[in-house]
Amino acid sequence: MTGVEKIYSEAVFELACEQSCTDEVKKELDSLAVVFNDNPGFAKLLTAPTVTIGEKLEIIEKTFKGKISELCYNLLCVVTEKGRAAAVPAIAEDYKNRWYEMKNIAEVKVTTSVPLSENLRAKLKAKLESVYKKTVILTENVDPTIMGGIVLNYGNTMLDGSVKAKLEAIQKQIKGVIA
């Protein structure tokens, strides 16, 4: 993510805070990110040099006017005018991170070789909430190649307790002894 997305995100977040609509804006930006990610041609259309700014703004108006808040609508217009419509998903992601920080929420990505049971999920969530002192949202991923154990990602921290990582560590030790 470049600094430009952070600048747009920060501006929108500050305006949403002033207008007391941070939750609504988060939901709308999440939805816009899905639209842009699921329809890459849409961002290409909004950045195409062969389409005039007027035509691009008309497309945005017909597609979004009255369906999203004025704040998000204006953001779409500005990023389109500046040729940065493709940055909408990154802007939404940065906004989400700011919103999580404000709401004291931690999004933890959990990778296991098999789906977590409801009981284990609840225990893991409770443990992480006590460690981080935040409300935890678990994003689960199943990856059979880790063979067992668990991998946790939170922010820039990764805790790899997978069987695969342990086997690779043993393999390194053996190579170190043999070499």
Mean pLDDT, the chain, rounded, equals 95
Fold classified for 105-178: Glutaredoxin (3.40.30)
pLDDT at residue 132, rounded to an integer = 92
At residue 1, the pLDDT reads 59
The yes-or-no verdict on residue 3 having pLDDT over 90 is: no
- Extents of the domains making up the chain: 3-101, 105-178
What's the pLDDT score for residue 175? 87
Give the pLDDT of residue 25: 98
Q: Which residue has the higher pLDDT, 37 or 175?
A: 37
The answer to whether domain 3-101 has CATH 3.30.450.60 is no
Note the pTM of the prediction, 2 decimals: 0.83
Contact partners, residue 162, CB within 8 Å, separation at least 6: 111, 113, 146, 147, 148, 149, 150, 151
Of the candidates 76, 37, 38, 71, the one whose C-alpha atom is nearest the C-alpha of residue 58 is 76
Look at residue 179 in the predicted model and tell me its pLDDT: 64
Beta strand pairing status for 135-142 and 105-112? Answer: parallel
Does the pLDDT value for residue 158 go beyond 70? yes
- Report residue 25 as tokens: 């804006």
pLDDT tens for residues 58-101?
A: 999 999 999 999 999 999 999 999 999 999 999 999 999 999 99
pLDDT above 80: residue 2 = no
